[in-house]
Amino acid sequence: EAGVAQSPRYKIIEKRQSVAFWCNPISGHATLYWYQQILGQGPKLLIQFQNNGVVDDSQLPKDRFSAERLKGVDSTLKIQPAKLEDSAVYLCASSLVGGNEQFFGPGTRLTVL
């Protein structure tokens, strides 16, 4: 079974630039999560989708972050414009509907200079 795929693995940008991350969940997993993991901290949920609908985006900084999952499979997370404090690893995870276990991708390490 293929795992959660994410790209790119690394990205370096300057502040005020925009960036996008891509996630392909495990086949059949209707629930998809985006987390932000700042160095030295645990992952923090940014947004949760079920199919193509948003379940929870209460911790997503909506003035600069956006996410979509148009066809209920792949998802993209965008930051525009980026700030220095956005430097982090962005993790995507997926699960079955009602599933207790979340499966994580390798993450995208973002450095904002």
Partner 1 sequence: AQSVAQPEDQVNVAEGNPLTVKCTYSVSGNPYLFWYVQYPNRGLQFLLKYITGDNLVKGSYGFEAEFNKSQTSFHLKKPSALVSDSALYFCAVRPFNDYKLSFGAGTTVTVRA
Nearer to partner 1, 38 or 113 (CB): 38
- Residue 36 and residue 46 in contact, taking contact as beta carbons nearer than 8 Å: yes
Tell me which amino acid residue 80 is. Q
3-state class (DSSP) for residue 97: coil
Residue 41: CB minimum distance to partner 1, A: 6
Q: Which residues contribute to the site for partner 1 (CB under 8 A)?
A: 4, 31, 40-45, 48, 55-56, 91, 93, 95, 100-107, 109
Residue (17 or 87) nearer to partner 1, CB: 87
Beta bridge partners of 75: 23
